[in-house]
Amino acid sequence: MLYMNQEKKTDSLEAMRKFSETYAKRTGTFFCADTSVTAVVIEGLAKHKDQYGSPLCPCRHYENKEIEVAVAYWNCPCVPMRERKECHCMLFLTPENDFSSSNQDISEKELLEHLNKI
Ligand code: SF4
């Protein structure tokens, strides 16, 4: 059982890593020059996906996460991102942002290294 849970968590992390790469490419946005920021946000999204069934934005405080997931406004990609390309987590940055890199990929290895998982 423990093994299955661990596998599910790894799956969510990988799913959110792939989502982030695909979504950055689709929207013409880029990851932060400091990829530890990217890694921590992806991990936060994956944790929320595991705990609440949806990748609720990890960079906000919520009184009740179940209600927020149901409302869906802050499910990633959130409404401000979809409407105005505003990602306050700095996961998806427009090219003119001072912190933007020219990178839309983060390898599984790089992600896990930042999270001290390998
Ligand atoms: Fe996703 Fe929006 Fe949070 Fe950025 S601010 S990580 S787009 S939910």
Closest C-alpha among 88, 85, 87, 115 to residue 17: 115
Alpha-helix runs per DSSP H in 53-106: 65-71, 79-84
Catalytic residue status for 78: no
Cα 6 from chain centroid (whole Å): 19
How far does residue 5's CA lie from ligand 1's centre (Å)?
25
Residue nearest to atom 4 of ligand 1 (CA): 87
The pTM of the whole model exceeds 0.85: yes
C-alpha angle with apex 23: 18 to 26, nearest 5 degrees? 130
Which pLDDT tens digit goes with each residue over 58-86? 999 999 999 999 999 999 999 999 999 99
Q: Which listed residue (59, 78, 87, 89) is catalytic?
A: 59
- Indicate the DSSP class of residue 106: -
